[in-house]
Structure 1
Amino acid sequence: MQEYFGAENLTPPDGETLTIAKAIANLKQKKDTGLRYYAAWWLGRFRVDDPEAIAALIEALEDEDLLTPDGGYPLRRNAAKALGKLGAKEAIPALLRCFDCDDVYVRESAAQALGAIGDRASIPQLLKFLEGGVEAAQFVPGKPHLIQPYEAIIEALGALHATEAIEAIAPFLEHPVEKVQYAAARGLYQITGEDRYGQRLILALQGDRLQLRRSALMDLGAVGYLPAAEAIAETLAENSLKLIALKGILEHHLQAVSSSSLQLSEDSIRVMDFMDSLL
């Protein structure tokens, strides 16, 4: 089943079309780990806000059956992601316990979920990961990842508007890994609203590496930095990603303007014009 892990197929491994009841049943059974993995993804993908589904996903956060050769827990990762998409506040204690898991990607998924759920009670636990500062944020020997999921942790603190985290996040603007720098700029912009952090992400759109330009695009869309719209439209990257980023900016702007107005603002029209030009 290892080749199945990470795939987001539209049909489960057995080819059966899922219903909510079937997905929950698949997640609860213990015979077929592939069905369980897919069910966790499916429940999150389709935002199945059902108490039984949430309870099953929380239980899956402690799964011991689905283990990769390198010691990873794919089902736990999917369950955490799904709970974040569902905004399941009742899962917060279990997600915080995920920080004790040896799998860094479980910790990453848990941090992302806590940021999405939006409960500030998780801020102290997230802040603990930054206590060692940039000096401690090193790669695991022989592995392609840092010792902690710093991007996800910083982004979660930004999503939670954790003003108490500003001092801890700021040094990560100088971390040697560019994506961590971008996460710091993204988080600090969300917390402070200061243009200098949004401008830092715009500058990243001019980088030489496509992968990093893609990352900056997603960060700008996630924070809805309106002054970045033109730079996003002109970035050397796939139009599909630029459209996603511009959509994020437009949605943030529309939420910010007065709901009493029946007319689109000039800024909204401008962003939509950029989107039209990419179609």
Structure 2
Amino acid sequence: MSELTQSHFESELEPPNGEPLTVETALANLTHEDVSLRYYAAWWLGKFGSGSPGVVEALITALQDEDDRTELGGYPLRRNAARALGKLGDRRAVPELLQALECSDYYVQAAAAQSLGMLGDPACIPAMMSVLSGGVESAQLMPGRPHLAKPVEAAMEALEALRATEATALIEPFLQHPVPRVQYAAARSLYVLTQHPAYGERLVRSLSEADLKLRRKLLLDLGASGYLPGAEAIAHASVENSFKMIALKSLLESNLKQTNPVALSPAATQVMTLMDALL
């Protein structure tokens, strides 16, 4: 698997041999000689293995795998195992995911950070803040690689999920990062953590400046922020309707999670109206 096509965002996978799995066969496949079966098994267990005995332990073991390596030294199985552990929601994985932050594979680090955010253990906050502690200069693009030196986007996402308001001073400098997508991630996290509209408006303004690929990224960040005044900008952005629908759904869900209202506000109702218009 080429590292250039691997991202820390998971995509749907197809069984390598076309055969459906059970928990038992997936667990067995985690140590199969065919590394493609291992990779798929880790993804499958994250999606379907919740509550089954032995799944968390097997995926924790997979975080130490040395057999599945890319030509550039990455660890695909470890990446999927880290993602799967976040989806399973079992905090027994926290110590090993914290250790995975030290892996030489950037994408393992990023997957571990995202999963730690999903697991919601406040004890992880210092480790996430440590990823950002070197500032913008320590998180530049790696020469000849498609990623940064450190997974600062994933760390900000985790701090946002953990509601770590103490991290805002560390996140703020990344609004000036030379890579636009990092700026968007910082603005999103800062809005979630502070609820200051200036950060939401920064995402809205950027929609008119970004190219198509970045507009798609922006829509997802704006949706994840829960900034309801951005709904109109999402609905009228120059991107595919499918992206708009995903972003508007995320926008509504994120806002409801942040505010926990007794009834929908007029702004939230307007988001639903905009979604209906796109159908």
Indicate whether the TM-score tops 0.5: yes
User: 1:132–1:12: structure 2 CA closer, same or farther, 3 Å change rule?
Assistant: same
For residue 219 of structure 1, the aligned residue among 210, 221, 238 is: 221
For residue 19 of structure 1, the aligned residue among 11, 22, 27 is: 22
Deviation at 1:91, TM superposition (A): 0.5
Cα separation, 2, equivalents of 1:11 and 1:172 = 37
For residue 253 of structure 2, the aligned residue among 238, 251, 254 is: 251
Cα separation, 2, equivalents of 1:268 and 1:25 = 46
Deviation at 1:142, TM superposition (A): 2.2
SS at match of 2:54: helix
Deviation at 1:134, TM superposition (A): 1.2
Query: TM-score when scaled to structure 1?
Result: 0.91
Q: Is the 8 A contact 2:226 2:254 kept in 1?
A: yes
User: 1:191–1:268: structure 2 CA closer, same or farther, 3 Å change rule?
Assistant: closer
Cα separation, 1, equivalents of 2:108 and 2:53 = 22
User: 1:166–1:64: structure 2 CA closer, same or farther, 3 Å change rule?
Assistant: same
State the AA in 2 paired with 1:276: D
Q: Is the 8 A contact 2:64 2:78 kept in 1?
A: yes
Q: Which residue of 1 aligns with 2:269?
A: 269
User: 1:227–1:2: structure 2 CA closer, same or farther, 3 Å change rule?
Assistant: closer
For residue 74 of structure 1, the aligned residue among 73, 76, 80 is: 76
Q: Is the 8 A contact 2:106 2:149 kept in 1?
A: yes
Deviation at 1:254, TM superposition (A): 4.2
Q: Which residue of 1 aligns with 2:112?
A: 110
Deviation at 1:139, TM superposition (A): 1.9
Q: List gaps (5 residues or longer) in structure 1.
A: none
Q: Point out the more displaced range, 102-111 or 201-210.
A: 201-210
Q: Which residue of 1 aligns with 2:146?
A: 144
Cα separation, 2, equivalents of 1:235 and 1:49 = 41
RMSD: 2.0
Query: TM-score when scaled to structure 2?
Result: 0.91
Deviation at 1:48, TM superposition (A): 2.6
Ranges of 4+ aligned residues in structure 1 off by more than 6 Å: none
User: 1:22–1:47: structure 2 CA closer, same or farther, 3 Å change rule?
Assistant: closer
Is 2:239 aligned against 1:229? no
Cα separation, 2, equivalents of 1:129 and 1:258 = 34
Q: Is the 8 A contact 1:11 1:17 kept in 2?
A: no
Deviation at 1:208, TM superposition (A): 3.4
Cα separation, 2, equivalents of 1:258 and 1:161 = 18
Q: Is the 8 A contact 2:13 2:40 kept in 1?
A: no
User: 1:35–1:96: structure 2 CA closer, same or farther, 3 Å change rule?
Assistant: same
Alignment of 1:180-199 (within 5 A): 180-199=182-201
Alignment of 1:129-140 (within 5 A): 129-140=131-142
State the AA in 2 paired with 1:139: L
Q: List gaps (5 residues or longer) in structure 2.
A: none
Report sequence identity in percent. 55
Q: Which residue of 1 aligns with 2:160?
A: 158
Q: Which residue of 1 aligns with 2:172?
A: 170
State the AA in 2 paired with 1:238: E
- What CA deviation, in whole Å up to 9, does each residue of 1:27-68 have, x standing for no partner? 2x2322111100111122336332411111111111101001
Deviation at 1:257, TM superposition (A): 4.8
Cα separation, 2, equivalents of 1:10 and 1:99 = 25
Cα separation, 1, equivalents of 2:118 and 2:110 = 12
Cα separation, 2, equivalents of 1:18 and 1:227 = 44
